[in-house]
Amino acid sequence: MKVLVINCGSSSLKYQLINPSTEEVFAIGLCDRIGIHGSKFEYEVPATDFELELEHDMPTHKEALELVLNTLTGEHGVIADINEVDAVGHRIVHGGEEFTTSVLLDEKVMAGIEANNDLAPLHNPANLLGVKTCMELIPGKPNVGVFDTAFHQTMPAKAFMYPLPYADYTELKVRKYGFHGTSHKFVAGLANDLLGNPANSKVIVCHLGNGASISAVKDGKSVDTSMGLTPLQGLMMGTRCGDIDPAAALFIKAKRDLTDKEIDARMNKKSGILGIFEKSSDCRDLEIAREGGDERAALAIDMMTYRIRAYIASYAAAMGGVDMICFTGGIGENSNLIRSKSLEGLEFMGVELDEAVNSVRKKGSVKLSTETSKVAIYKIQTNEELVIARDTLAIVK
Ligand code: AMP
């Protein structure tokens, strides 16, 4: 079984050809700057370490996918014919309330996804474009949609409702949806396996990357998560502000005479780490600057980890305890400083980080808690593509 996993952004297309049963990755890569001058193509075959990186004109997603398919079947390809692709799995960002699980994509389902475009105007149209392009270039093969929001659809109303006029929920669908669902699902699933799959479990997953979110997962089901109607709510991120007083946005907009678009960009693209540190949105740059005595860098790290810690404690309270805290994403998997500072002061909850183990760089899933810690702490390498491939296999079977 070979599943082509596609993650289409407005100007990018990430792809992987995977066997979901054996987890073998045949090929992996990226088309970047689609429709922009200087489009870039990357292709890698993990089994042979073959790597290709070239500039190639890709005016639209169609040319990008054509290049992917030609490479997969070409001189350094991993399949002889495009018919060897059994199915295509697509990341779809927003499934609204309608899509609670992954689905086989057809005209009707795609119209349903399109109806949620307002909720994710930057992502959903690009995701759908990817689906349409695959249907055109790989005809006759099943396409499956896997939603970022689906895993969080198990949240109870008390967690997902905003205390706004009720009609804003019924008429405009304004509520918390949550994102990074495939990552939270993958990590929480692995956490449950590591716990020995008990009848009851309480897991907190911290997905800390450029975008960041935390989820509370009880008995394998998401019961709360930090992102909201959009991926702006919650933690302080690379360039997103996360939780602020909504009135602050209105105040800044009025005082600086900004348009809706400008205040939106200010909160989504100029805030978070970048907003405080000002020099970069990248956590590695931030840590290096802090080491060198940069006070703003130190402040940004203090703010970021203070907020993570507060979310962890509040989700433990929401679930009536916690068995395991997991860190994943580029920062969660790699930054011992952020992990350590995020757990500082949580000893009252029985959380004890083994600093010696935490400071050693190791790939894969690593236990980071001491033997006496009441709460297990792990770093877990997330694999969203594998979740998409597995869901695709389950549906086409
Ligand atoms: P992601 O969005 O999951 O790809 O994560 C990107 C973030 O991970 C960026 O802020 C990177 O700076 C951060 N990151 C990657 N490697 C490290 C590292 N070794 N130490 C600290 N942050 C890292």
Instruction: Give the whole-angstrom CA distance, residue 279 versus residue 96.
Output: 36
pLDDT confidence tier of residue 362, bands split at 50, 70 and 90: confident
Backbone angles phi, psi at 310, to 5 degrees: -65, -40
**What is the structure's pLDDT at 121?**
84
Q: Where is average pLDDT lowest: 16-25, 102-111, 121-130, 183-192? A: 121-130
- Whether the per-residue pLDDT at 113 is higher than 90: the answer is yes
Token pair for 365: 């899933």
CA distances from 59 to 13, 32, 36, 120 (A): 13, 11, 7, 23
Residue 335 CB–ligand 1 contact under 6 Å: yes
Calculate mean pLDDT across residues 372-385. 96
330 marked among binding-site residues? yes
Active-site annotation holder among 49, 106, 148, 260: 148
Residue 209 among known ligand-binding residues: yes
Q: How far apart are CA 259 and CA 270, in angstroms?
A: 15
> What pLDDT digit, counting tens, does each position of 133-178 carry?
999 999 999 999 999 999 999 999 999 999 999 999 999 999 999 9
pLDDT digits (tens, 9 = 90+) for 34-80: 999 899 999 999 999 999 999 999 999 999 999 999 999 999 999 99
Q: Helix (H, G, I), strand (E, B), or coil: what is residue 361?
A: coil
Give yes or no for residue 120 having a pLDDT over 90: no
* Residue 304 contacts residue 282 (beta carbons within 8 Å): no
Q: Is residue 282 lining ligand 1, measured as CB closer than 6 Å?
A: yes
In this prediction, residue 179 carries a pLDDT of: 96
Cβ of 331 less than 6 Å from ligand 1: yes
Length of the chain: 397
**Catalytic site includes residue 148:** yes
Tokens describing residue 380: 């877990």
At 234-266, the pLDDT tens digits run 999 999 999 999 999 999 999 999 999 999 999
Q: Is 283 close to ligand 1, i.e. is its CB under 6 Å away?
A: yes
Tell me the C-alpha distance between 126 and 129, whole Å.
Answer: 5
Share of the chain above pLDDT 90, in %: 94
